[in-house]
Amino acid sequence: MYIVVVGGGKVGYYLAKELIDAGHELVILEKNSGRARQIADELGSIVLNRDGCEGKHLAEAGANRAAIVAAVTGDDEDNLVVCQMAKHHFDVPRTIARVNNPRNEDLFRHLGVDEIISPTRMVLASIEQDIPVHELLHLAQLKGGELELVEAQIGENSPAVGRRPADINLPEGCSLFLLLRGNSVQQIRSDTVFQAGDKVLAVSRGEGESILRRELIGDSEPIGATH
């Protein structure tokens, strides 16, 4: 398979190395001459010291017979332009772009980039997975910050499970008012019994928050301890 890689940074370099090892034919376009020489020293004459965003350089690289064009520079705008040129000017069947700003993903998809790789998104997803939901989620500030609207997720180990509002030792100035259970939203009444999986909307005030957290969520484990 013939592959054109635009951008000879770390990603482009290791990508090219792996693809060559797998027996593919490829060329790297790298506009920085020093970097291009460096790659050529390591990987042989597979580098064109050209700006891959320019149409004539993509033509020179044989983009019209490439099965894939992968744009992996550190600049989103360059990656987008490379993929658009490849797709619409050279009829490349598959274009792959590295996207650094996750907010740009939709635009890329919308403008016809076939595949989008977002390192930022990947790291973000990995981090979010590792954070246990042991905290109160702050939704809004009320009365100029005096009160906080918070959401608590009742876990299996929460001391609130099986209890009614009256059984919960609420700090002064705090109140529980809304229950999100499955797809339903209900008001918290005196006969409401909390279950694991419930989300509780509450209003907390100042120092009362840590007590609220302990009563509804329980003592948290250190982050990452379960992994």
Which chain residues interact with another protein by CB under 8 A? 53-56, 75-78, 80-81, 84-85, 88-89, 101, 103-104, 106-107, 110-111
Our CB check for another protein shows the closer of 103 and 189 to be 103
CA neighbours within 13 Å on the CB side: how many for 200? 31
Q: CB 17 → another protein: shortest distance, Å?
A: 26
Our CB check for another protein shows the closer of 13 and 90 to be 90
Q: CB 75 → another protein: shortest distance, Å?
A: 7
Our CB check for another protein shows the closer of 84 and 192 to be 84
- Give the DSSP letter of residue 1: -
Q: CB 104 → another protein: shortest distance, Å?
A: 7
Q: Residue 205's beta-bridge partner residues?
A: 147
Q: Tell me how crowded residue 223 is: count the other CB atoms within 10 A of its CB.
A: 12
Our CB check for another protein shows the closer of 3 and 83 to be 83
| Angle at which helices 10-21 and 33-43 cross, to 10° | 30
- Give the DSSP letter of residue 61: T
- Give the DSSP letter of residue 33: H
C-alpha to C-alpha distance for 131 and 156, rounded to whole angstroms? 17
Q: CB 61 → another protein: shortest distance, Å?
A: 14
Our CB check for another protein shows the closer of 97 and 202 to be 97
Quickly tell me which residue has 């059984």 as its tokens: 167
Q: CB 142 → another protein: shortest distance, Å?
A: 26
What is the enclosing helix (H) or strand (E) of 186? strand 184-187
Spatial contact of 203 and 142, defined as CB atoms under 8 Å apart: yes
Q: CB 12 → another protein: shortest distance, Å?
A: 17
Our CB check for another protein shows the closer of 69 and 150 to be 69
C-alpha to C-alpha distance for 11 and 68, rounded to whole angstroms? 16
